[in-house]
Amino acid sequence: MIFGLTIHEVFLIINIVLVLGIIFDQRRNPTSTVGWVLVLILLPGLGFFLYLFLGQDWTKRRLFSLKAEDDRLIADAVISQKKELERIGRTRPGETYERYMSIARMLLEGSQALITTDNELEIFTEGTAKFASLFDAIREARHHIHLEYYIIRNDALSRELIELLTKKAREGVEVRLLADSMGMKVKKKGLHEFTQAGGKHAVFFPRIFTINYRNHRKIAVIDGTTGFIGGFNIGEEYLGRGPFGSWRDAAIRINGMGVMGLQLRFIMDWNYAAREHLEIDPVYFPMVPGKGRCPLQTVWSGPDVRFSQIKDGYVKLILTAQESVYIQTPYFIPDDSLADALRIAALSGVDVRVMIPCRPDHPFVYWASLSFIGDLLDAGVKAYTYDAGFIHAKSIVVDGIGASVGSANFDVRSFRLNFEANAFFYDPLYGSQLKQAFLDDLPKCTEITPGSYQSRSRWTRTRESVSRLFSPLG
């Protein structure tokens, strides 16, 4: 008894309050609202705890007040960028670049994603080459090393990284290591020598009360001139040494002024997590023109903004497609706008293909993904399961020219609940490489045909339906 009320009555009152609060939350996604109301009604008591850990967003409103300050940091740069877009249009005339510059304009206006045009890229699809390149860049560092990852395992690869960072800190290089609090597995003892040598580390957002609002970004910046972004975290499984075996992912190395966007994002995240207030100092933004010609934008999104900028970029890319749209993602739970864009593209004669893993690391998400893919098959979208291990890449390439690689999956968590960072680039040299990587994976896949999808068992259909029902929660 609590104040004369039974436990059941207490939970009933709590449920009623939560239901009313969710309904009258004007900024909550309507689909998410319906989902949470259903959970609270069908699972009284348990629904309260699920909402506490998965759905509450008062924390978001309280914690991410630094956004206004972040916006002011780059407001002036956005104005000058509009002139840069006009210059690109003059120096690279033609229908192709005009088509992709319309995407650049949208991302600049909507998410203040600065565009640079002198970038040289290197695309990685497996961990050995990616980590070799990252470690080589770290060894060459002379002024600073800024690393931001969702997961840093406590394993051999992570220890090798920490030892290298410790060595660089002893040499006088500024070293900062930022990880999400839920993904940071290295214990303080393992970081003792690193901090003694002068290295700094911080964790993003304590994992108290909620598993939402995770910093899912994977960013590395060395000396302000070399950057990495993509899907790889720091751990042995990303080298194919985990339970899933071979690991297929996607990341890019950037040399050029495009690194400035990664640097700016890191500094803002570091200031929030470490409370250091790292200045936007020219020493972190060396004006060293790159040797490439690839236009590139760094786009970020998170629960601190109203709109899903990366998702908007995905949709805009798809709607510009004239020949092909190739997507790789471990989690495919599109909202209506993304699903409609894919359907419209396929019905218009565009070759639309989606590749997901053949086995899940999160079964709930996997079954929901299959359900959404099933909806698109009738429109002509082709879907595949990757059978040669686990596919963790978050990539899209359109017509072998416009592309995006980063941390954002094609699902509701990436679009609304986690902090993400992607690079959008527009160049036939690198776009064709990403397209070819997709085509090279096809012999390792099984196609999900309309016939095979319709022949799935009743138990599979049930799992898909239940998973889909709760997929919008957030």
Q: Which residues are designated catalytic? A: 216, 218, 223, 392, 394, 399
Please name which of 127, 403, 117, 364 lies closest in space to residue 260, comparing C-alpha atoms: 117
Q: What is the dihedral of CA 325, 331, 332, 335, to 10 degrees?
A: -120
410 φ/ψ angles, rounded to the nearest 5 degrees? -95, 65
Helix H segments across 43-66? 46-50, 58-63
Helix H segments across 245-361? 259-274, 309-320, 336-347
Residue 382: helix, strand or coil by DSSP? strand
d(CA 105, CA 102): 5
190 φ/ψ angles, rounded to the nearest 5 degrees? -70, -15
The residue assigned the tokens 């991410």 is: 64
Please name which of 303, 343, 298 lies closest in space to residue 319, comparing C-alpha atoms: 343
Joined tokens for residue 325: 């749209």
By the 8 A CB rule, do 230 and 262 touch? no
By the 8 A CB rule, do 229 and 254 touch? yes
Determine how many CB atoms are found less than 10 A away from the CB of residue 30. Answer: 8
Please name which of 402, 341, 397, 328 lies closest in space to residue 369, comparing C-alpha atoms: 328
d(CA 286, CA 45): 55
What is the DSSP code (8-state) at residue 152?
B
Q: Is the dihedral of CA 39, 43, 45, 50 positive or negative?
A: negative
Which residues have CB under 8 Å from 340's CB, separation 6+?
none
By the 8 A CB rule, do 208 and 50 touch? no
| 146: β partners | 176, 221
d(CA 312, CA 424): 12
d(CA 125, CA 179): 23
Joined tokens for residue 27: 């900024």
By the 8 A CB rule, do 163 and 139 touch? no
E-assigned strand segments in 265-415: 294-301, 324-328, 351-357, 382-386, 390-391, 395-398, 402-406
d(CA 301, CA 311): 9
